[in-house]
Amino acid sequence: MIVAIDGPAGAGKSTVARALAERLGFRYLDTGAMYRALTWLAMQRGLDLGDEAALAELADAEPVVFDEDDRVWIAGTDVTSSIRETRIDRMVPVVARHPAVREVMRARQRQLGREGDVVIEGRDIGTVVAPDAAVKVYLVADREERARRRIAERPGIGADALATDLRLRDESDAARTRPAPDAIEIDTTHLRVEDVVERIEALVRERTAV
Ligand code: DC
C-alpha cells in the first residue's frame, strides 16, 4: 500500500510522514531528499544547474540510496546533513524543475514504491508518481507557521532571509505542488504532529478494513 503525503515546504510533511511510517510499520520515502542529493552532487561537481540533459544524465548515473537507518547517500557519500544546508534549499528548485530530471527521479520513486508498504512524501506523489495511492493527503499551513518551523530547523539563518527564501521556493515549486483531486487536505497550522498522524492513520485503517 502507498500513502502519499504532499504539500508545500514547512507544511509538516517530513515529521508527519516519518512518524506515520513508524506507527504503521511502513517504509518511509523522502522524495525531496532525492532532489536535494542530486543538487548537492551537481554543485559538488561544478555542473551548470541550467543544463537539463547533464543533470538528468547525472541522476541516472548516480541514483540516490537510502540505507536502513534512512541516511541519504549519493555517489558513495553520506549527504544526510549536507542536503539540509541553506545553499541547497536555495538551489534545489532550479534542479527539480527540469522535466528530464523529474522523469529519472519519478521512475526510481515508482520502483522504490513497489517494494511493499510505504509512506511517500513529496510534491507530486498523489498526482503523478503514484496516482493510484491508497491514501492521499495534502498538508498545508499558514506561511507564518511554516516560516517558524523552518527557523527551528535552520537556526543559522535570520528570520527575514528565511521568509524570503520560503516565498521564493513557494513560487518556484508552485507549478509542481498541487493536491490530487482525491487528496484529503489537512491544515496543520494549529494541530499537533500526533493529531495529524492519528488522522491519517485512521484513513489508512479505513482503507485496509475495506
Ligand atoms: O520537501 P523538500 O523541501 O525536501 O523538497 C526539496 C525540493 O525538491 C523542493 O524544491 C521541491 C522539490 N521536490 C519536487 O519537486 N518534487 C518532489 N516530489 C519532492 C520535492
CA 109/CA 96 separation, integer angstroms: 14
Q: Is the pLDDT of residue 163 over 70?
A: yes
Averaged pLDDT for residues 132-139: 97
Averaged pLDDT for residues 100-129: 95
Domain 28-116 listed as CATH 3.40.50.300: yes
> Per-domain residue ranges for the chain?
1-26+118-203, 28-116
Domains 1-26+118-203 and 28-116 share a fold: yes
Q: Is the pLDDT of residue 210 over 70?
A: no
- pLDDT tens sequence across 41-76: 999 999 999 999 999 999 999 999 999 898 999 999
CA 65/CA 79 separation, integer angstroms: 10
pLDDT, residue 146, reads 87
pLDDT, residue 172, reads 76
Ligand 1 contacts (CB < 6 A) are 9, 31-32, 35-36, 92-93, 96, 122-124, 169, 173, 176
Q: pLDDT averaged over the chain?
A: 93
pLDDT, residue 162, reads 78
Atom 15 of ligand 1, residue of closest alpha carbon: 96
What's the pLDDT band for 5 if we cut at 50, 70, 90? Answer: very high
Q: What is the pTM of this model?
A: 0.92
Averaged pLDDT for residues 15-20: 96
Give the Å distance between the CA of 172 and the centre of ligand 1: 10
Q: What is the fold of 1-26+118-203?
A: Rossmann fold (3.40.50)
Q: List the Cα angle 101/106/108 in 5-degree steps.
A: 100
- Given a contact cutoff of 8 angstroms between Cβ atoms, the answer to whether 104 and 2 are in contact is no
Residue 109 alpha carbon, nearest atom of ligand 1? 18
Q: Is the pLDDT of residue 164 over 90?
A: no
Give the Å distance between the CA of 190 and the centre of ligand 1: 23
CA 94/CA 163 separation, integer angstroms: 19
Residue 96 alpha carbon, nearest atom of ligand 1? 15
- Given a contact cutoff of 8 angstroms between Cβ atoms, the answer to whether 36 and 88 are in contact is yes
